[in-house]
């Protein structure tokens, strides 16, 4: 068996309905990844050439940002044709080759379903603005004679838009837009619009796409006197969408982009009747807060506020993505704190958030980057890595909008970071060239050669995570300790949680023989982290686990068994341990 088919059989994309619970996502822009035809923009042919790299990194699900025809005024979230490929990214044929090659390597593919709005260049809008008021075609969008309706609706792109209504001189009416004025919102009260969306879904799922990220999903329906978010009508539509998909395209996954408080985000999972996954937006800034405050409270507090979810559902956890580090789901005080700590230069602010990458947010401190990833990989949910963060890429805050974090992937110290053979001036964005984060110092080739690089560390961590499915499927028991800088929790296999009784040993159940004292797939895992820049002690009340031996999972070193007294751990600055309990 070749290495490729071995990996594919280990990590098959076959019919496993809950595959997303063990998913490790890698979010990427096709345009930023690798330019095969030398025109200065990444394309599907280039991405296909980089699939071996992605497979060797240890991720198993690729989430692709929009690659559809678009005027590109919102990085492709302004779609002008839903069932084609932007010519810069290649052709539908290139996409099919990419999908087939990704599946052959055991990599699933999640694409974007931008269902709240289109580009104003979409033929639906061009037709609507000319159609007779009240006609089906006019009503693909939302029109008004005044900009006074829906006054309670918040404005999201505060850097750019003074109102959610804009005047269209052709229609001679105002149209509603939740985001940029060139992105008119679709009218979900029109059944023709709902049918169009089902048709788009069928197109991509019919091509074999494994999942869809539902962009900006809370805003679909609008009702006067409400904030027009999370309305019952929106949830009803999602149930209809889910049933349609389950009936026609089994084992596909819907991932909600609902930037909401935990109880509102959970509603998009609806005990498994709407989306299977939702991003945990409020957790993300609190991870950054906890580390800067050296206090676990922000993180444990938001986790305590997070309702339990159905076992068929899963959180998508992330540290950074293609947008700003959003500060919508925090209090005013928390927002001030985040700005003062992480956006010292006002140019780092974007909308209600901070437009920076992970490495720059943590001042390029490798220890903090590792600690944050260890939390991302061990808290309940499926982790989502953002392209380039695996090598510690930086950002360019002098670029407009959110382009700061969308610069070309840094493959090598060669011309244009090895991303493209085009002339530098032709590149869609300049690669980073500063002395700290520039491609001469931060690139895949150099980190591949260096066994102690961040990239190799990431590969090892993902390997350990894959060996222990409890990270994806288990529950969490937070362990209280007197030291606020210490964060401890146990990931408990399903069926072994709860109560004061001793957990049963699960490691022999269905996991085949494993040498005595070696943690196996079914074992519980104790995670202990130090959020402080100084060494810290932690005493952990682990009575329920008395008699078990913690085995450190990276080195497989046995630690002293857990006894009657609180378990004592000494943690180096920003240190963390994952212990299998055997
Ligand atoms: C989502 C996307 C963001 C985009 C917005 C409007 O929030 O993540 O990048 O600008 O939708 O489409």
* Cα 144 to middle of ligand 1, angstroms: 24
Residues with CB under 6 A from ligand 1: 74, 77, 114, 179, 215-216, 257, 322-323
The one catalytic residue among 94, 215, 390, 395: 215
pLDDT at 504: 56
Helix (H) or strand (E) holding 241: helix 232-248
With vertex at residue 555, the alpha carbon angle to CA 554 and CA 556, rounded to the nearest 5 degrees, is 100
Q: Name which residue sits closest to atom 9 of ligand 1, judged by CA.
A: 323
The one catalytic residue among 161, 257, 323, 389: 257
Instruction: Identify whether the C-beta of residue 74 lies closer than 8 Å to the C-beta of residue 114.
Output: no
As a whole number of angstroms, the distance between CA 442 and CA 392 comes to: 7
Instruction: Identify whether the C-beta of residue 427 lies closer than 8 Å to the C-beta of residue 52.
Output: no
The ligand 1 atom at the shortest distance from the C-alpha of residue 322 is 9
The ligand 1 atom at the shortest distance from the C-alpha of residue 321 is 8
CB atoms within 10 A of CB 509: 13
What are the per-10-residue average pLDDT scores of the chain (582 residues)? Answer: 43 77 98 98 98 98 98 98 98 98 98 98 98 98 97 92 97 98 98 98 98 98 97 98 98 98 97 97 98 98 96 98 96 97 96 96 98 98 98 97 97 98 98 98 98 98 97 96 98 76 51 63 93 98 96 96 97 98 96
Q: Name which residue sits closest to atom 2 of ligand 1, judged by CA.
A: 215
CA distances from 281 to 263, 318, 481 (A): 12, 8, 26
* Cα 78 to middle of ligand 1, angstroms: 9
Q: Name which residue sits closest to atom 4 of ligand 1, judged by CA.
A: 77
CB-based burial of residue 466 (10 Å sphere; 0-12 exposed, 13-18 middle, 19+ buried)?
A: middle
Q: Name which residue sits closest to atom 12 of ligand 1, judged by CA.
A: 77
Q: Clarify whether 257 is annotated catalytic.
A: yes
Instruction: Name 476's Cβ contacts closer than 8 Å, sequence gap at least 6.
Output: 303, 379, 380, 489, 490, 491, 492
DSSP-H helix ranges across 34-177? 44-49, 51-57, 92-104, 123-130
Mutation test residue for ligand 1: of 77, 160, 402, the one with most atoms within 8 Å of CB = 77
pLDDT at 511: 44
* Cα 445 to middle of ligand 1, angstroms: 32
* Cα 65 to middle of ligand 1, angstroms: 10
Q: Clarify whether 215 is annotated catalytic.
A: yes
For 295, the 3-state DSSP assignment is coil
pLDDT at 577: 98
CB atoms within 10 A of CB 406: 23
Q: Name which residue sits closest to atom 8 of ligand 1, judged by CA.
A: 323
The ligand 1 atom at the shortest distance from the C-alpha of residue 259 is 7
**Each residue's pLDDT tens digit, 72-87:** 999 999 999 999 999 9
* Cα 544 to middle of ligand 1, angstroms: 45
* Cα 105 to middle of ligand 1, angstroms: 29
* Cα 216 to middle of ligand 1, angstroms: 7
DSSP notation for 489-549: EEEE-TTS--SSSPPPP-TTTTS----TTS--TTSEEEEEEE-SSS-EEEEE--GGGTT--
Instruction: Identify whether the C-beta of residue 258 lies closer than 8 Å to the C-beta of residue 268.
Output: yes
For 296, the 3-state DSSP assignment is coil
Mutation test residue for ligand 1: of 31, 63, 122, 179, the one with most atoms within 8 Å of CB = 179
Instruction: Identify whether the C-beta of residue 319 lies closer than 8 Å to the C-beta of residue 379.
Output: no
Mutation test residue for ligand 1: of 65, 219, 323, the one with most atoms within 8 Å of CB = 323
As a whole number of angstroms, the distance between CA 260 and CA 19 comes to: 25
Mutation test residue for ligand 1: of 28, 184, 215, the one with most atoms within 8 Å of CB = 215
């Amino acid at each position: 068996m070749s290495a490729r088919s071995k990996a594919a059989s280990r990590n098959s994309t076959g019919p496993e309905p809950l595959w997303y619970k063990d998913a490790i996502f890698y979010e990427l822009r096709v345009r930023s990844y690798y330019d095969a035809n030398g025109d200065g923009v990444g394309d599907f042919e280039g991405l296909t050439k980089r699939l071996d790299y992605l497979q060797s990194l240890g991720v198993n699900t690729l989430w692709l940002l929009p690659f559809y025809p678009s005027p590109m005024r919102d990085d492709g979230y302004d779609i002008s044709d839903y069932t084609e490929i932007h010519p810069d990214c290649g052709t539908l044929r290139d996409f099919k080759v990419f999908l087939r090659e990704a599946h052959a390597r055991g990599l699933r593919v999640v694409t974007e379903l931008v269902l709240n709005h289109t580009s104003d260049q979409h033929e639906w809008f061009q037709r609507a603005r000319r159609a007779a008021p009240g006609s089906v075609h006019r009503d693909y969008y939302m029109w008004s004679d005044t900009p006074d309706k829906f006054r309670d609706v918040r404005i999201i792109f505060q850097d750019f838009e003074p109102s959610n209504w804009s005047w269209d001189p052709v229609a001679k009416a105002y149209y509603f837009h939740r985001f940029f004025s060139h992105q008119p919102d679709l009218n979900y009260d029109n059944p023709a619009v709902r049918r169009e969306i089902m048709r788009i879904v069928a197109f991509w799922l019919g091509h074999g796409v494994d999942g869809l990220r539902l962009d900006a999903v809370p805003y679909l329906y609008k009702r006067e006197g409400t904030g027009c978010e999370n309305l019952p009508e929106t949830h009803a539509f999602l149930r209809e969408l889910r049933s349609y998909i389950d009936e026609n395209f089994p084992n596909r996954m819907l991932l909600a982009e609902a930037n909401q408080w935990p109880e509102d985000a959970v509603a998009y999972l609806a005990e498994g009747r709407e989306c299977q996954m939702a991003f945990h937006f409020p957790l993300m800034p609190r991870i950054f807060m906890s580390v800067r405050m050296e206090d676990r409270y922000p993180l444990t507090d938001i986790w305590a506020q997070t309702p339990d979810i159905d076992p068929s559902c899963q959180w998508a956890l992330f540290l950074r993505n293609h947008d700003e580090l959003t500060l919508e789901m925090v209090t005013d005080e928390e927002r001030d704190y985040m700005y003062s700590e992480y956006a010292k230069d006002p140019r780092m602010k974007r909308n209600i958030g901070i437009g920076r990458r992970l490495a720059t947010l943590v001042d390029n401190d490798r220890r903090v980057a590792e600690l944050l990833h260890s939390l991302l990989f061990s808290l309940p949910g499926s982790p989502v890595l953002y392209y380039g963060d695996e090598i510690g890429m930086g950002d360019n805050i002098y670029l407009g909008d959110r382009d700061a974090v969308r610069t070309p992937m840094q493959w090598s110290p060669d011309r244009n970071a090895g991303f493209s053979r085009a002339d530098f001036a032709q590149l869609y964005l300049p690669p980073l060239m500063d002395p700290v984060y520039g491609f001469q110092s931060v690139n895949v080739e150099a980190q591949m050669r260096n066994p102690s690089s961040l990239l190799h560390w990431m590969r090892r961590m993902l390997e350990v995570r894959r060996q222990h499915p409890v990270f994806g499927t288990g529950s969490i028991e937070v362990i209280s300790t007197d030291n606020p800088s210490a964060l401890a929790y146990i990931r408990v296999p399903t069926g072994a949680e709860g109560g004061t009784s001793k957990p049963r040993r699960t490691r022999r159940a269905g996991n085949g023989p494993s040498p005595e004292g070696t943690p196996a797939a079914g074992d519980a895992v104790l995670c202990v982290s130090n959020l402080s820049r100084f060494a810290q002690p932690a005493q952990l009340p682990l009575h329920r686990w008395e008699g078990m031996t913690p085995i450190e999972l990276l080195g497989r070193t046995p630690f002293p068994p857990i006894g009657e007294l609180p378990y004592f751990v000494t943690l180096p600055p920003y240190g963390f341990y994952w212990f299998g309990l055997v």
